[in-house]
Homo-oligomer: A and B are copies of this chain.
Amino acid sequence: MNTINETHHADLKSWVESANIPGTDFPIQNLPFANFRRLQSNESFRLGVAIGDQIVDLAALAQAHLCSGIVQEALLAASHEGLNSLMGLGRPAWSALRLALSEMLRQSYANQQPIAACLIPQARVEYAVAAKIGDYTDFYTSIEHATNVGKLFRPDNPLLPNYKWLPIGYHGRASSVVVSGKNFHRPVGQTSPPGSTSPSLSVCKRLDLELELGIFIGTGNAMGQAISLEDAENHIFGICLLNDWSARDIQVWESQPLGPFLAKSFCTSVSPWVVTLEALAPYRAALPRPVTDPQPLPYLSSEDNNSQGALDIELDILIQTQAMRDASIAPSKLAQSNYRHAYWTAAQLVTQHTVNGCNLQGGDLFGTGTLSGPTADEAGALIEITEGGKKPVILPNGETRTFLEDGDAVTLRGWCQRAGFARIGFGQCTAQVLPARVI
Q: Do A162 and B358 have beta carbons less than 8 Å apart?
A: no
A168 contacts across to B, CB distance below 8 A: 254, 257-258, 261
Interface centre among A170, A256, A267 (most CB of B within 10 A): A170
**Which residues of A (387-422) have their CB < 8 Å from a CB of B?**
none
* Contact between chains at B135 and A256 (CB < 8 Å): no
**Residues of chain A from 138 to 160 with CB closer than 8 A to chain B in the complex:** 140, 150, 160
A190 to B355, CA, bound (A): 9
Is A250 an interface residue when CB atoms closer than 8 A count as contact?
A: yes
The verdict on A166 contacting B190 (CB below 8 Å), with A134-B175, A260-B258, A359-B175 known, is yes
| Least Cβ–Cβ distance between A282 and chain B, in angstroms | 33
Instruction: Provide the A220-262 mask, 1 if CB < 8 A to any CB of B, else 0.
Output: 1001111000000000000000000001001001111111111
Task: List the B side residues contacting A160 at CB < 8 Å.
Answer: 256-257
- Do the beta carbons of A188 and B437 come within 8 Å of each other? no
The smallest C-beta distance from A235 to any residue of chain B, in angstroms, reads 14
Would A225 and B437 be within 8 Å (CB), given that A175-B358, A361-B175 are in contact? yes
- Which of A198-206, A304-312, A338-346 lies at the binding interface? A198-206
Interface size on A, residues (CB 8 A): 68
Contact among B161, B220, B258 for A259, CB-based, below 8 A: B258
Q: How far, in whole Å, are A364 and B174 apart by their CA atoms in the complex?
A: 11
Q: Are B171 and A355 in contact (CB under 8 A)?
A: no
A15 CB-CB contact with B under 8 Å: no
- Chain A stretch 253-292: residues in CB contact (< 8 A) with chain B: 253-263, 265-267
Q: Smallest CB-CB separation from A439: which chain B residue? A: B299
The interface residues of chain B lying within 8 Å CB-to-CB of A134 are: 174-175
Is A37 among interface residues, defined by CB-CB distance under 8 A? no
* Among A185, A223, A253, residue most surrounded by chain B Cβ atoms (within 10 Å): A223
The answer to whether the Cβ of A23 comes within 8 Å of any Cβ in the partner chain is no
Give A303 Cβ to nearest chain B Cβ, in Å. 19
Tell whether, in the assembled complex, residue A224 and residue B170 are in contact, meaning their CB atoms are under 8 Å apart: no
> Does residue A424 face the partner (Cβ distance < 8 Å to B)?
no
Nearest chain B residue, comparing its CB with the CB of A204: B356
> In the complex the two chains form, is A355's CB within 8 Å of B188's CB?
yes
Tell whether A297 is near chain B: CB-to-CB under 8 Å.
yes
A90 sits at the interface (CB 8 A): no
Please indicate the chain B residues that have their CB under 8 angstroms from the CB of A140 in the complex. 258
- Chain B's closest residue to A140 (CB) is B258
In the A-B complex, the 3 residue pairs with the closest CB atoms: A259-B259, A171-B171, A170-B258
Give 10 A-B contacts (CB < 8 Å), ordered by A residue.
A134-B175, A162-B256, A165-B192, A168-B257, A169-B258, A175-B223, A176-B223, A184-B224, A185-B357, A201-B299
Chain A interfacial positions (CB closer than 8 Å to B)? 134-135, 140, 150, 160-162, 165-166, 168-176, 178, 184-185, 187-190, 192, 198-201, 220, 223-226, 247, 250, 253-263, 265-267, 294, 297-299, 352-353, 355-361, 364, 434, 437, 439
